[in-house]
Structure 1
Amino acid sequence: MAEGDFVSLEAAATTLGVSVRQVRRLADAGSLTRVARGLLERDSMDRYLMSQRRGRTRAWAEYTAWGAIALLSGEEAGWLGPTQTSRVRRTLRELTDPTELVARVRDRARIRLFTAHRAALTRLGTTILQPNLGALGIVDIEDGHLDGYIATQELDNTIRTFGLRENASSNVTLRVTSFDIDQVDTLISAGVVAALDSATSLDPRIRGVGQRALSEILENYR
């Protein structure tokens, strides 16, 4: 791992504009990735920054975030209830900036980064829910890298089964959610989830595709 791949807690606190204690809390919550004592993965910090809108946009709770995704995907969100559904619909119709939507739904899952042996990737790919990037026209994704959703209760067993190692040189991105995984499975094939994930990519091209797709999704929803 090169020196530029990691950042100290103090440097991360300065970059994020928070205290070191808050940085530790973000790492404990999985929002930032530890690589060693007192060190964080720089890419995880960059991803976290990218998922935040400048300002103080409040993130929706996990089930509300998935409700918003369902509504944008043309599905019902019966778990929200009529009053909350009405509020979420109203907020979505008022949104014009895709980065604000990204910030609103950022707590739909916690990002964990792992390294897996290449021989395990094919099998692992059948156990996680991978967004439909093809719906966005993204076909030349990085070879040998997996990115998908997994239920919180399945994480530990998946780590053991596939010998995953959490570190900065990752080829597996797991988005861990406590929401009903069957509902996630229903929503994952639509382009909304793929657009949200792509909009926080560190690859400028993929990020641009995701942001443009979200702008179109919001426009069509209004």
Structure 2
Amino acid sequence: MDEMTVAEAGAALGVTGRQVQRLVAVGHLTLSRKIGRSILIDTRSVYQRKHEEPRQGRPWTQTNAWAAVVMLSHGRLDWITIAQRRRIAYRLATASADDLVRLAKNRAEVQHFRCHPSLLHELEPHVIPTGTSALSVRNAATFGLTISNDSVDGYVPVESVAEMVEVYALTPDPAGQVTLRTVSEERAFAGGRLPAPAVALDLAESLNSRERAAGIAQLAQLLDSRKQ
């Protein structure tokens, strides 16, 4: 089931229908479509919300989220202040993998589209792949994952989305096989490659239990290496 009614979403989250509508209004749940006066909600957004445990501290801004990703990958970090670096380094030293997923949630705006299968391979070179799309067959097998050739998941500059939608006839669809993660902070993508911690974060946010477990394991390993 790719869509939920307000009542179903409320039951899954343990909140009232009014609270569900409020979550949709502020963007914490994704509106799938309207039928008359009723709304249907993207199931994935409901379960992503359910997986988020309330903890202290706000999520990072997009800039700070990418700074943390670069810090974890030992990349060059010259676009934030020394004070910001110290705060992020301290948070990384005390965070769990689940904490990191929550803190870095604002690193991109995620949009899902439906694309004609014949255009998928033409679209692929125009995104920076992530999730299982970024893994080699060997790496995927290590984590018990499989690589899909019938979907695209990747990062794009926010200003490129409108043109991509037009050129590749992308149709908004919560269950679509194209996931575009739009970003305005592009300084983290040195050489057009995605830092490995970002791939792990995207896997950790997956509703697929194997992908989520693989992402959490990678993040835990990265965080542990900083604490040694």
Are 1:22 and 2:22 matched, yes or no? Answer: yes
Cα distance change of structure 1 residues 79 and 101 upon mapping to structure 2, 3 Å threshold: same
Equivalent residues, number: 213
Cα distance change of structure 1 residues 116 and 23 upon mapping to structure 2, 3 Å threshold: same
Matching residue of 2:89: 89
Contact 2:137 2:147 in 1 (8 A): no
Matching residue of 1:5: 2
Query: 2: distance between equivalents of 1:202 and 1:83?
Result: 35
Matching residue of 1:218: 223
Q: Which structure 2 residue ranges, 5 or more long, are not aligned?
A: none
Structure possessing the higher relative contact order (Cα contacts under 8 Å, 6 or more residues apart)? 1
User: Which stretch shows the higher mean deviation, 52-61 or 135-144?
Assistant: 135-144
Q: Which structure 1 residue ranges, 5 or more long, are not aligned?
A: none
Q: TM-score, normalised by structure 2?
A: 0.84
Q: CA RMSD in A?
A: 2.3
- Counterpart residue identity of residue 113, structure 2: F
Specify the structure having the higher radius of gyration (Cα).
2
Are 1:204 and 2:209 matched, yes or no? Answer: yes
- Partner of 1:157: helix, strand, or coil? helix
Q: TM-score, normalised by structure 1?
A: 0.86
Deviation at 1:57, TM superposition (A): 4.4
- Partner of 2:163: helix, strand, or coil? helix
User: Which stretch shows the higher mean deviation, 160-169 or 14-23?
Assistant: 14-23
Matching residue of 2:47: 46
Alignment of 1:1-222 (within 5 A): 4-13=1-10, 15-16=12-13, 17=15, 19-27=19-27, 32-37=29-34, 38-50=39-51, 52-95=52-95, 97-131=96-130, 132-134=134-136, 137-138=139-140, 140-180=146-186, 182-186=187-191, 188-222=193-227
Query: 1: distance between equivalents of 2:86 and 2:197?
Result: 20
What is the CA deviation profile of residues 180-217 of structure 1, one whole-angstrom value per residue up to 9, with x for unaligned ones?
A: 2x533548443211111111112111111111111000
